[in-house]
Structure 1
């Protein structure tokens, strides 16, 4: 069935929204919606799986703990985050929804 990453965007994004689109044998594909959101202060993701993230719309900054670096993603930019790489969302665009496509594998 045809669907769109741009469909059913909420009027307000009080918090980030994580929507699984596909789950199959350890693979998870999800749409993430952000607008002016960031990871909580002091929080770092430390995931057991690799993650491919693509910014479809909007902008975001992903900060890595080691080595210390911040990567800015704009529409069409993607990043592969290896498992156990501590990272956080530093910021997302406050004026437009940031639509992410994330693949956890």
Structure 2
């Protein structure tokens, strides 16, 4: 049995978001995402095949859904369920503090 830490192996420089696969099964994927000032390009919407449940463990982010004007602000402890094919994008993440997300992608 190995013990791991969700906050380990985060580099000092982070030119791109860091995705770490933690666990995977036939119909789900659990990953850690680390953002530092990253966002989805303004002209791009994420449209995923699987449902996603995500929690912010540290930092903060703005999550914008298609058809809405203002992003929802997520802080440490906040979570959201994003149904499959619900268009969304990360409007912003904290530029100083690491935003650490835990995301579960799964089929219905």
Q: Would you call these one fold, judging by a TM-score over 0.5?
A: yes
**Other-structure match for 2:18:** 17
Matches for 1:72-87 after TM superposition, within 5 Å: 72-87=73-88
Root mean square deviation, CA, Å? 1.0
Which runs of 4 or more aligned residues in structure 1 lie more than 2 Å from their structure 2 counterparts after TM superposition?
66-69
Is the CA contact 1:58–1:93 (under 8 Å) kept in the aligned structure 2?
Answer: yes
Q: Secondary structure at the match of 1:63?
A: strand
TM-score by length of 1: 0.95
Tell me how far 1:67 sits from its aligned partner. 4.7
How many residues in Structure 1 have an aligned counterpart in Structure 2? 105
TM-score by length of 2: 0.93
Which ranges of structure 1 fall in alignment gaps of 5 or more residues? none
The CA deviation string for residues 15-67 of structure 1, in whole angstroms up to 9 with x for no partner, is 11111111101200000010000001201000111100100000000000035
Instruction: Give me the whole-angstrom Cα distance separating, in 1, the residues matched to 2:70 and 2:97.
Output: 24
